[in-house]
Structure 1
Amino acid sequence: MATRLDSPELYTIGWIAALPIERAAATALLDDRHDTPKRFHQPRSDPNSYTWGRVGHHNIVIASLPAGVYGTTSAATTASSLLSSVPHIRFGLLVGIGGGIARPDHGRDVRLGDVVVSQPDGTHGGVVQYDLGKAKPSHIWERKGSLNMPPTALLNALANLQAEHGIMASKIPDLLQAMWKTSPRMKEAGNDFTYQGSEHDRLFGPKYDHVEGTTCDMCPASWEVKRCQRDTVDTKIHYGVIASGNTLVKDATTRDSISNVIGEQCLCVEMEAAGLMNHFPCLVIRGICDYADSHKNDRWQRYASATAAAFAVELLSFVPPQHVAIPHQLRPDTPPSPLSTIIPFRRDPHFVPRDNFLQRIHQLCSEPAGRMALVGLGGVGKSQLAIEFAHQLEQTTPKGDQMRVFWVHAGTVVRVKESFQAIADAMKIPNRNQADTDIMQLVYSWLSNEAKGKWCMILDSADDHDVFFSIQGNVKDGRPLAIYLPQSRNGSILVTTRNKDLAFKLTGDFRTIIEVGPMADIEALQLLENRLGPLSDGSMAADLARALDFIPLAISQAAAYIQARMPRTSVAKYLAEFQESERKRVKLLGHEAGDLRRDGGASNAILTTWWLSFNHIRSRRVSAADLLSLMSFFNRQGIPEWLLKLSKGTVDAPQASLGASTDSESESGQSEIDSEFEDDVAVLREYYLVTAIEGEDAFEMHGLVQLSTRRWLEASDLEETFKEKYITLLAEYFPSGEYENWELCKMLYSHTEAAVEHRPKKGSVKEKWAGLLYNGAWYASEQGLYIIAERMLLKGRKAFEKQLGSGDEATLTSTSLLASTYRNQGRWEEAEKLEVQVLETHKTKLGPDHPFTLSSMANLASTLWKQGRWDEAEKLEVQVMETSKTKLGPDHPSTLSSMANLASTLWRQGRWEEAEKLEVQVMETRKTKLGPDHPDTLTSMANLAATYRNQGRWEEAEKLEVQVMETHKTKLGPDHPSTLSSTANLASTLWRQGRWEEAEKLEVQVMETRKTKLGPNHPFTLTSMANLASTYRDQGRWEEAEKLEVQVMETRKTKLGADHPDTLSSIGNLASTYRKQGRWDEAEKLFVQAMETSKTKLGPDHPSTLTSMANLAFTWKTQGRHGDALALMVACAQAQRQVLGIEHPDTLSSSSTIRQWSV
């Protein structure tokens, strides 16, 4: 029959184990196992399960962490509950397994099955929290805060034991033999607590990662660290520092970096000790079960648990009974101290003061019966502000005054009741442990008694309305918990919650609600620096904070990740990995960083911390959760309200957003949708997941909230459902890229660009996705966003090809647009390759005369034209034109377009009379067929005017251009791209005539309008700026010209690349300005750069290359290098004769220059 002692006060040593196998070893080594002692009343707030027993002369109580729960916070909670239930505990032991830091070459021959004991060394208390510090320059680690040493009684016993071991061998082997004998099951397969054999103890170098498999049988011996064979298998005992933190270390690099910053006395890493040292006086004993690297497995865990427990038993035999015989209370029994508080979290040494939040909290909570709430998105730091306030309140209360702070975990009904029980225990309220006591009423009555003194209650994480206002089984009389929140003048209540509506119900006044948002820039940078040390690159740190939406939990999580992997990981490396892909972001943000100041039930990973809110919303209003799910796929800013409403049905399309009226039959249905929509939005705004943009019918979200929502959907197998809804919705309403659709395209473009990352799985939706990307790329190309358009087209084209085949017209159309983006980027070889592919496919499938074939032939001609291969372009254009005439007729629009294209090629060749003849024919036919004001007719007139301009027939050119411009203004408006183009053309004609003031006026007008309508970096805007700069140059306003030309050149380098033809043109223009200023050396440098790059990228005979050669020759001439200039001009003229022909204006100009220079 088991022994049962009379009182729990007879148990004076607490033994904490983390794992069930650790507890099994401790229990098996008891000399005597006891029943629960008499008069033991376990508080409701204590969830521990206890084993009672005796080791030698000492009565001990054993507790372990909940199954599957690890870390410093869980250990602290277990120990705290133990001390609450058994307050006469004198000291404790934390006994279990850990990862060894073995460096035989440094005299640290730690092996599996050995025991490491925490021992102070004058610098450390025996345990160091490795994630409680910050890195200093040169990877020096600065410890922040400190952990207590073990109790003196244990250190004295430890010294005595060490002396004994200098004389006699340890009794660990004898204790293990006795354990195996009395508990033979502990030698059975699958439950083997015996020595595992030196052949299974393999230490590998830190640069070798484990291969696949549960054992190291496949790991090559060449990577193994050579160690001398031991003479015995008996356990060796090591004394030194144990590194403790919340991260499970299973990487050799991380392990060694921890060891390096702490010092060579660091022998072990584990996950619980740091949570105990300052709250539960104890010694830490760890059996080594692995080397904290990628080779770790479970083989040695049971034996290591047994050796650690055996050492603990041997140590207790050296603790004199009289040191623990007299019950010594770690906490006073009664009465409670005037300053008794329940603050379960220590103060944060990294805390960053924010705005005037704490001042406002102190002010509101100082009022009689004050109630106030901190409200905001999860992870923005509400609880951290509350913790800092609690500690400030405790420290700033004047001596002699009475102020108690009570922390209530308000996430569930059970936790609220447990917290009230803890208050009753702390205050020693009579009758608190009686079975029939209503603990809520008991605490409420005690707090309401003003004679008990001042108090402040913090309701943390009060996110669920039902916890406080539902009567379903909350208390015996069915009253909601909110009733038990006292309103006495001697107390105040601070609430932290994600729910604004609940905050109002708990405080009763919107004026006492403080909204907490993300940090300010400077606060976010300070938090990073507090956690990581001085930041070497402030701009990189700012970019990281911005990428994390300035959310404190995300920043702290990233800092913990970086710190644990220093020096191999830095802010820059983390940011690069974060920006690489969504998969990388999910991996980084899913990392659980330990935080002692977060509730043990709360996630420390930012992506999952919001799931609690999502689940609350889904349980409360499914339609609101569905709206959130849909919005998570959009771009985070400017989510149109009208489009979200359309997702619910009824009204037709964007017209509703643009002010179109609806008929009376639809008004009723739409009114109902509007009402439901507003209710959904209200719920999302209550939880701070969505923000309405002031002055706009649109919403925005935090990017991390969107990412978290999508991962929540993925976990619920709903991601594809809402992704398909999002794609279908956008594909239906995002139009093609014609100018007439630009207003709607602009509104939806960012959301279409976001769709690139949301490729659906279902085939039919995949086609919609590809079509959406095609239209998005079309619009992007029109805006000069060629790189983005290319990215869209590559993905969309691949989807079309997979779903429909490479020969389907949708695939070919995407390929043609992709070739067009290459052409606009100056990547002519890639464009040509694709266009030849499309042309040949069309010829094979449709025949050489089909309109699609002719269109692809014209596209190829355009690319050849861009390369200066005008003879080849002309050949194709003639073929297109003649076939179109035959098949479609001479007046068909396609025929006229082909004639206009051919005229442009003739125009570039200097064959202006032939070009003029075609252009007149096209213009007159279009006037007849389409009318004089049709856009195509006006384009023909503009082309003819350009030909007149190049022939020096400026009056005729001007007359046409004025007519085109005025018609465009009337028909399309003054800001239409066609109007602006015609205005720019007129300015060019005026410029040719030397009418620079008139030209300047028009060019400024065009440039400013394009900046406003298209943006400062659009290709058309840059062209306007370049034209204006040329006018300034000819006016002698060289500084103004230079300023514009530098801006154009740099922007083109950034947007198009340093080798793009337009960039090279900008370089040439700037060089011309330098030459005009007499800055010949600078001009020469730029002209040489333009010429050499043109030779490489465009070819030595390309017209642009030849222009660069001529410009350089002129520069050399002005420098007095007459021979070099003449030789270069001769080479230029020879090439022009071959490429352009002897009658081309450029050829004639070069030949004339040679004759002048030769005189």
Structure 2
Amino acid sequence: MEAAGLMNHFPCLVIRGICDYSDSHKNKEWQGFAAMVAAAYAKDLLLQIAPTSVEAEKPIGEVLGSIQRDLKRVNRTTEETRAGVMIIQSHQIDHTHRLTHIQRDVQDIKLRKVEDLSIARNPHFVVPFPSDPDFVNRSDIWTWIQEQYAGPGSRFALVGMGGFGKSQMAIRFAHHLHATLPKTSVFWVHGSTKATFEESYRSIADVLALPRRRDPDVNVLALVRDWLEREDVSPWLMIIDNADDVKMLLSKDTNETYLSYLPKRENGKILITSRSWAAADELTGNVKMIFRVPTMEEAQALQLFQKKIGRDDNEAAVLRLIDTLDYVPLAINQAAAYIYKRSPRVTVESYLEEFHNSEKRKETLLHSNQGDIQRYEGVSHSVVVTWRVTFEQIKHEQPRAANLLSLMSFFQAQNIPEYMLHDYNSGNIDSEEANDKHGETSNVDFEDDLDVLRDYSLVTMTATPGLLEMHSLVQFCTKSRS
């Protein structure tokens, strides 16, 4: 291009070798080949121009031979250039192919990530149980749950014995929230063991389609927690069901406790159900955020039985039955299912007669395990087995408290005098250090063990100081396990 500018100053002829087809695609490595081609053609052109002097002219044969030799050199150079260009092009095609694949893979990853995060940001309802059509509202508990959910606290708990209806209230509230606030996510976590806790979190990660959830090097517990703590996530409620074991909650997975995997966010709430007051206290951090679930009121228990049985029975007999069952929802469900299945051969009156016939028959009836889609698969639905889980947990955590419970099971259920219980641990060889100089069990130990039983709602204090009481069914199940 620069040489062409000379044409404006003196007559000349420009011979060019071209290696670029636009200014945006230049390659200096090819300029040498272009120059060689231009030089070869320039020489050939000069040989074609006749000399001005006859003396300078060469024989035609010599000229043609020279031209042929030059053409061979040009051809050879051209072939070498073509071969070099083809090698360069082959390398470029290979690199371009690889870059195209890399770009496609990166784009796929980006698209998948965007898709996953889009799914995760949507509201989700992850509750394994349907709403119970026979649900009986317990207004005091229901009102408290709604107040805590609307209040400033982020965690609140229902505490009570197994079978008292804690999980049923939580299930009902979950479905109520989903119906009234569809943009709020609800997640259910089975918190009884490490395995069930982790499995619940994995299910949540799958529903949210969180990236890297199946990576073996990723901590799914932390992945779910960190996601729910993000500000761009929709409001959520997490229900931790059966969070009974304090030691499990405080045990470590890698370097963190299971308790630390519960998300903390202003826009998120956690409802806990537990048999243990100590566990609920550890989870909420505030005893004011704990509601102790009692047995049903008479009217509620009557309504529950009538809904489960599906017909009107002798009300007086039903009232005697629910009183015999201590107004415990699980026991009432169990009895109603037993009677309904065997009707008309079994009536409320005949069930009561069988129940009081013998201790062995009573245990058989309380052991009856009817199907219930409101409870976990593979878990017994009977009162005896449900409460024995609690007994065994107490025996494992505090053997002295288990001994105290066993002693109390032989008293009248109401008005058990405390002063008659202080020797409950005298047969234990490990209790010598706990004895004072008079040989009596330390009051401190007694209070600690009594607190354990109260934490599990097995024993309550009466209005009269020094007197305790417990459910007659609890007494019976305690004695039947020994």
**Distance across 2 between alignment mates of 1:336 and 1:486:** 16
Deviation of 1:640 (Å)? 1.8
Aligned residue among 473, 476, 482 for 1:707:
476
Taking structure 1 as the reference length, the TM-score comes to 0.30
Which residue type is aligned with residue 348 of structure 1?
D
Which residue type is aligned with residue 454 of structure 1?
P
**Distance across 2 between alignment mates of 1:615 and 1:647:** 18
Q: Residue 259 of structure 2: SS of its match in structure 1?
A: helix
Which residue type is aligned with residue 450 of structure 2?
V
Matched, 1:427 2:208: yes
**Distance across 2 between alignment mates of 1:527 and 1:352:** 6
For residues 471-502 of structure 1, give each alpha carbon's deviation from its aligned partner in whole angstroms, at most 9, with x where no partner exists.
Answer: 3xxx222x210001111111000000010111
**Distance across 1 between alignment mates of 2:375 and 2:220:** 26
**Distance across 2 between alignment mates of 1:454 and 1:541:** 44
Q: Residue 646 of structure 1: SS of its match in structure 2?
A: coil
Aligned to 1:367: 151
Matched, 1:562 2:333: no
Aligned residue among 375, 380, 402 for 1:625:
402
Matched, 1:351 2:135: yes
Structure 2 unaligned segments of length 5 or more: list them.
1-115, 428-434
Distance change in 2, residues 1:369/1:601 (3 Å): farther
Q: Indicate conservation of the 8 Å contact 1:382/1:496, yes or no.
A: yes
Q: Residue 139 of structure 2: SS of its match in structure 1?
A: coil
Q: Indicate conservation of the 8 Å contact 1:640/1:699, yes or no.
A: yes
Which residue type is aligned with residue 406 of structure 2?
S
Aligned to 2:169: 385
Q: Residue 125 of structure 2: SS of its match in structure 1?
A: coil
Q: Indicate conservation of the 8 Å contact 1:407/1:458, yes or no.
A: yes
Aligned to 2:221: 440
Aligned to 1:606: 383
Distance change in 2, residues 1:500/1:601 (3 Å): farther
Root mean square deviation, CA, Å: 1.9
Which residue type is aligned with residue 445 of structure 1?
D
Deviation of 1:669 (Å)? 4.2
Q: Indicate conservation of the 8 Å contact 1:369/1:488, yes or no.
A: no
Deviation of 1:362 (Å)? 1.9
Distance change in 2, residues 1:541/1:427 (3 Å): same
Aligned to 1:403: 184
Aligned to 1:476: 254
Aligned to 1:531: 308
Deviation of 1:339 (Å)? 3.3
For residues 322-363 of structure 1, give each alpha carbon's deviation from its aligned partner in whole angstroms, at most 9, with x where no partner exists.
Answer: xxxxxxxxxx99625733111100010000001321222122
Which residue type is aligned with residue 442 of structure 1?
L
Deviation of 1:432 (Å)? 0.3
**Paired residues for 1:263-342 under 5 Å:** 335-336=119-120, 338-342=122-126
Aligned to 2:47: none
For residues 726-778 of structure 1, give each alpha carbon's deviation from its aligned partner in whole angstroms, at most 9, with x where no partner exists.
Answer: xxxxxxxxxxxxxxxxxxxxxxxxxxxxxxxxxxxxxxxxxxxxxxxxxxxxx
Deviation of 1:667 (Å)? 6.4
Deviation of 1:460 (Å)? 0.3
Aligned residue among 236, 240, 264 for 1:455:
236
Q: Indicate conservation of the 8 Å contact 2:425/2:441, yes or no.
A: no
Higher relative contact order (CA 8 A, sep 6+): 2
Distance change in 2, residues 1:527/1:611 (3 Å): same
Q: Residue 176 of structure 2: SS of its match in structure 1?
A: helix
Matched, 1:503 2:280: yes
Q: Residue 340 of structure 2: SS of its match in structure 1?
A: helix
**Distance across 2 between alignment mates of 1:536 and 1:611:** 32
Deviation of 1:601 (Å)? 4.3
**Distance across 2 between alignment mates of 1:703 and 1:505:** 30
**Paired residues for 1:196-211 under 5 Å:** none
Aligned residue among 644, 664, 675 for 2:421:
644
Aligned to 1:196: none
**Paired residues for 1:1090-1101 under 5 Å:** none
Aligned to 2:356: 579
For residues 10-41 of structure 1, give each alpha carbon's deviation from its aligned partner in whole angstroms, at most 9, with x where no partner exists.
Answer: xxxxxxxxxxxxxxxxxxxxxxxxxxxxxxxx
**Paired residues for 1:834-849 under 5 Å:** none
**Paired residues for 1:1067-1078 under 5 Å:** none
Which residue type is aligned with residue 695 of structure 1?
T
Q: Indicate conservation of the 8 Å contact 1:334/1:428, yes or no.
A: no
**Distance across 2 between alignment mates of 1:615 and 1:649:** 21
Which residue type is aligned with residue 384 of structure 2?
L
Aligned residue among 436, 443, 466 for 1:674:
443
Which residue type is aligned with residue 618 of structure 1?
K
Distance change in 2, residues 1:443/1:515 (3 Å): same
Distance change in 2, residues 1:355/1:671 (3 Å): farther
Q: Indicate conservation of the 8 Å contact 2:229/2:265, yes or no.
A: yes
Q: Indicate conservation of the 8 Å contact 1:468/1:481, yes or no.
A: yes
For residues 189-229 of structure 1, give each alpha carbon's deviation from its aligned partner in whole angstroms, at most 9, with x where no partner exists.
Answer: xxxxxxxxxxxxxxxxxxxxxxxxxxxxxxxxxxxxxxxxx
Aligned to 2:293: 516
Q: Indicate conservation of the 8 Å contact 1:369/1:490, yes or no.
A: no
Matched, 1:687 2:456: yes
Distance change in 2, residues 1:333/1:576 (3 Å): farther
Deviation of 1:455 (Å)? 0.5
For residues 301-342 of structure 1, give each alpha carbon's deviation from its aligned partner in whole angstroms, at most 9, with x where no partner exists.
Answer: xxxxxxxxxxxxxxxxxxxxxxxxxxxxxxx99625733111
Q: Residue 459 of structure 1: SS of its match in structure 2?
A: strand
**Distance across 1 between alignment mates of 2:153 and 2:405:** 37
Q: Indicate conservation of the 8 Å contact 1:578/1:585, yes or no.
A: yes
Aligned to 1:590: 367
Q: Indicate conservation of the 8 Å contact 2:121/2:232, yes or no.
A: no
Q: Indicate conservation of the 8 Å contact 1:450/1:489, yes or no.
A: no
Q: Residue 610 of structure 1: SS of its match in structure 2?
A: helix
Matched, 1:548 2:322: no
**Distance across 1 between alignment mates of 2:159 and 2:312:** 31
**Paired residues for 1:1023-1102 under 5 Å:** none
Distance change in 2, residues 1:646/1:467 (3 Å): closer
Aligned to 1:151: none
**Distance across 2 between alignment mates of 1:538 and 1:333:** 56
**Distance across 2 between alignment mates of 1:369 and 1:430:** 31
**Paired residues for 1:820-839 under 5 Å:** none
Aligned to 1:127: none
Q: Residue 240 of structure 2: SS of its match in structure 1?
A: strand
Deviation of 1:649 (Å)? 4.9
**Distance across 2 between alignment mates of 1:389 and 1:671:** 49
Distance change in 2, residues 1:672/1:645 (3 Å): closer
Q: Residue 435 of structure 1: SS of its match in structure 2?
A: coil
Matched, 1:698 2:467: yes
Q: Residue 560 of structure 1: SS of its match in structure 2?
A: helix
**What's the % identity of the aligned pairs?**
40
Deviation of 1:691 (Å)? 1.3
**Distance across 1 between alignment mates of 2:397 and 2:286:** 23
Q: Indicate conservation of the 8 Å contact 1:340/1:404, yes or no.
A: yes
**Distance across 2 between alignment mates of 1:609 and 1:631:** 20
**Paired residues for 1:564-963 under 5 Å:** 564-649=341-426, 668-669=437-438, 673-713=442-482
Distance change in 2, residues 1:540/1:435 (3 Å): same
Q: How many residues align?
A: 360
For residues 963-1007 of structure 1, give each alpha carbon's deviation from its aligned partner in whole angstroms, at most 9, with x where no partner exists.
Answer: xxxxxxxxxxxxxxxxxxxxxxxxxxxxxxxxxxxxxxxxxxxxx
Aligned to 1:742: none
Q: Indicate conservation of the 8 Å contact 1:456/1:492, yes or no.
A: yes
Aligned to 2:34: none
**Distance across 1 between alignment mates of 2:235 and 2:355:** 48
**Paired residues for 1:16-27 under 5 Å:** none
**Paired residues for 1:991-1002 under 5 Å:** none
